[in-house]
Chain A
């Protein structure tokens, strides 16, 4: 409260309008400079390249999660939204970077009218199939959020809830502001809060490094700019806070369960083999990697990937 008063007084600004860019202040401007300086150059990937990447993955994307895991995620999300005052029934929702509909589908199922936006037609094909089969109110819109014209799309100030869940569609201040501008009430953002972690001197190289392959390519251009390591949530959260919002936030400590090394090999081989054909040497490398890393036959995963979700009311 004190902070809000201080900023408003300083800038002489009143309540925020959600028709345009959020009214900034000196503090938020400093943070925006930091955010801008931390994001990779935009030219490094084009809309077309991004569409192609995601279309390549469209057939399988999101199919690895078990139904139980998916169910748990959705229940958690709905409870979180409810806590902030949002219930889906009869509401208009925009799901940016919806993918095959991991959130769009259950939200439509809960009674919302969902606009699902994605760069990859292949992902949207999958959603439409499901929507048809289950008679859900979902409209799909294909496009790149990076260059989206929300006035032409008729998105501005239109939705009760705008979602951006672990998507590279929101990659900087510009695309984040654009997301906010579409909402007349709530926004939901989910992203990694992963920090650059200093490795101890003797740390093993990561498996992708050893294999010489690029990892996390899907999100390599995500918020913060770095593959899965980009502290996207930090930038977005701090930006909101300096603007005077107090988002409800919940961290997710994704500790992967311990598993036998053979199981870890199986999973990694599948994971890395998804986007490329692994050579016998690479397969052997993966095997050796986990075998030597195992303690009493088990692989322990370190809890480094902390992600978080946050929800805020654009009018508060």
Chain B
């Protein structure tokens, strides 16, 4: 893909900046996402408006770039339960929804059946996808990779581009701070009370009802760099001028400590049951960390989305 010297230098930096692929971790991707597939993207009433706005923003930037969904073929990489696949199909697109987690696709298939949408689901890992066997190469009017760890490096990014004959959409975090203090405290309590040798980190979703993308492409705050900047700069050095939108969301969540504790416990118990001792310690933590009975959590997220039209 890299044609100019500039793009080559950038590609090189990108390559050396991402984590080395880890086969075991890759294999676990399917397991992890399947574990979450029942609840992922199911929004609480209070969050529904926000979610609708997100989708509207994506459709707006696509429109700005000149994409029209009606009759268009769309590939949605890492589609999850279909947050974008569904509205695009409703707007008249013929969507191929690709995901590593069969559980996510099962949910999507249900929606497709209920609402009679033109969506084909394909289960697979984008890390190892053979786009020629899949007959994806240069096939779609639009290829989407929205906040997905499926596109995580130069190789998977090039693979995404190779499937499009016209537009691509990519979005990712630039920086996020999910209020790590509570996260660490809870992690500590779990380690101490369960005596596990390796304590799996608590996902943010369990703590804050928010998504956990710690395997995203260079996108995590602990990762090697801002997730949007590598692909953006790569495109720029290739001569593209993507349409881009930045977003900055700061949220403060205050709720009764008991409710906050219950939510965390409930979330953790989706994975495995907790002992009474662990539960008590978690409740104690929430109680002690709250002021006037209210537990406060803060999160701050910078993210960006971009659309570009392929040169022929």
Q: Which residues of A contact B (CB under 8 A)?
A: 1-3, 6, 27, 30-31, 33-34, 37-38, 193, 195-198, 200, 231, 234, 237-238, 241-242, 246, 249-253, 302-304, 306
28 examples of A-B residue contacts, CB within 8 angstroms? A2-B66, A2-B243, A3-B241, A3-B242, A3-B243, A27-B244, A27-B245, A30-B246, A30-B247, A33-B248, A34-B246, A34-B302, A37-B175, A37-B300, A37-B302, A195-B17, A195-B218, A195-B225, A196-B225, A197-B16, A197-B17, A198-B19, A231-B226, A237-B233, A242-B246, A251-B9, A306-B10, A306-B13
Instruction: Identify the B interface with A (CB < 8 A).
Output: 6, 9-10, 12-13, 16-17, 19-20, 64-66, 174-175, 218, 222-226, 229, 232-233, 236-237, 241-248, 300, 302
For residue A31, which residues in chain B have a CB less than 8 angstroms away from its CB? 246
Shortest Cβ distance from B157 into chain A, in angstroms?
16
Contact A250 B225 (CB under 8 A): no
Pair A303/B16 contact, Cβ less than 8 Å:
yes
B contact residues around A241 at 8 Å (CB): 236, 244
How far does the alpha carbon of A285 sit from the alpha carbon of B300 in the complex, in Å? 42
* B303 smallest CB distance to A (angstroms): 9
Could you say which residues of chain A place their CB within 8 Å of the CB of B248?
30, 33-34
Query: Which chain B residues lie closer than 8 Å to A238 at the CB level?
Result: 229, 232
Contact A196 to B12, CB < 8 A, known contacts A2-B66, A34-B175, A242-B246: no
- Known interface pairs A193-B13, A196-B224. Does A34 touch B243 (Cβ–Cβ under 8 Å)? no
A-side contacts of B302, CB under 8 Å: 30, 33-34, 37
Complex CA distance for A234 and B237, rounded to whole angstroms: 13
Q: A193-B13, A196-B224, A242-B246 are in contact. List 20 more A-B contacts (CB 8 A).
A: A2-B65, A2-B241, A3-B243, A30-B247, A30-B302, A37-B302, A195-B17, A195-B224, A195-B226, A197-B224, A197-B225, A198-B222, A198-B223, A238-B232, A241-B236, A251-B9, A251-B10, A252-B9, A303-B16, A306-B13
Give Cα A238 to B241, complex, Å: 12
Q: Which A residues are in CB contact (< 8 Å) with B246?
A: 27, 30-31, 34, 242
Bound together, the chains give a CA A30 to CA B236 distance in angstroms of 20
Give the distance to chain A from B66, nearest Cβ to Cβ, in Å. 7
In Å, the complex CA distance between A237 and B236 comes to 11
Interchain CA distance A6-B282 in the complex, whole Å: 49
Provide the bound-state CA to CA distance between A31 and B12, in Å: 25
Give bound CA distance, A2 to B218, whole Å: 28
* A195/B13 contact (C-beta < 8 A), A34-B175, A249-B6, A249-B237 known: yes
B245 touches A1 (CB 8 A): no
In the A-B complex, the 6 residue pairs with the smallest Cβ-Cβ separation, listed nearest first, are: A30-B246, A195-B225, A251-B9, A198-B224, A253-B9, A306-B13
Measured in the bound complex, the distance between the Cα atoms of B19 and A304 in whole Å is: 14
Which of B13, B232, B241, B245: most chain A Cβ within 10 A?
B13
Cα of A238 to Cα of B247 in the assembled complex, Å: 13
Docked CA distance A237–B223 (Å):
21
If the complex has contacts A27-B246, A195-B13, are A251 and B237 also in contact, measured as CB distance less than 8 A?
A: yes
Distance to closest chain A CB from B264 (angstroms): 27
On whether the beta carbons of B241 and A6 are closer than 8 Å, the reply is no
Q: Which residues of the other chain, A, contact B243 by a CB distance below 8 angstroms?
A: 2-3, 6
A231–B225 CB distance below 8 A? yes
Q: Which residues of A contact B6 (CB under 8 A)?
A: 249-251
What are the residues of chain A within 8 A of B229 when measuring CB–CB? 231, 234, 238
CB distance from A195 to the nearest CB of B (A): 4
Bound-state Cα–Cα, A3 to B66, Å: 11
Whole-angstrom CA separation of A242 from B225 in the bound complex: 19
**Which residue of B is nearest A304, CB measured?**
B16
Nearest-Cβ distance from residue B69 to partner chain A, whole angstroms: 18
Q: Complex formed: what's the CA distance from A263 to B236 in Å?
A: 39
Chain B residues, CB < 8 A from A249: 6, 236-237
A245 to B174, CA, bound (A): 21
* Cβ distance B168 to chain A, nearest Cβ, rounded Å: 14
In the bound complex, how far is the Cα of B9 from the Cα of A306, in angstroms? 8
* A30 and B301 alpha carbons, distance in the complex (Å): 11
Q: Roughly how many angstroms separate A3 CA and B241 CA in the complex, as a whole number?
A: 8
Minimum C-beta distance from B195 to chain A (A):
23
A303 vs B218: C-alpha distance in the bound complex, in angstroms? 18
Q: Which residues of A contact B300 (CB under 8 A)?
A: 37
A193: chain B residues at CB < 8 Å are 13
- For B242, the closest partner residue in chain A by CB is A3
Residues on B with beta carbons closer than 8 Å to the beta carbon of A234: 226, 229, 233
Give the distance to chain B from A194, nearest Cβ to Cβ, in Å.
9
User: Closest B-chain residue to A253, C-beta based?
Assistant: B9
Cα A34 to Cα B173 with chains together (Å) = 12
With a CB–CB cut-off of 8 A, which chain B residues contact A38?
Answer: 175
Docked complex Cα distance between A234 and B188 (Å):
36
Q: Which residue of B lies closest to A247 (CB)?
A: B236
A253-B236 contact given A2-B65, A31-B246, A241-B244, CB 8 Å threshold: no
Could you tell me the distance in whole angstroms from the C-beta of A84 to the nearest C-beta in chain B?
Answer: 14
Chain B residues near A198 (CB-CB < 8 A): 19, 222-224
Residue of A nearest to B250 (CB): A33
B20→A302 contact, CB < 8 A: no
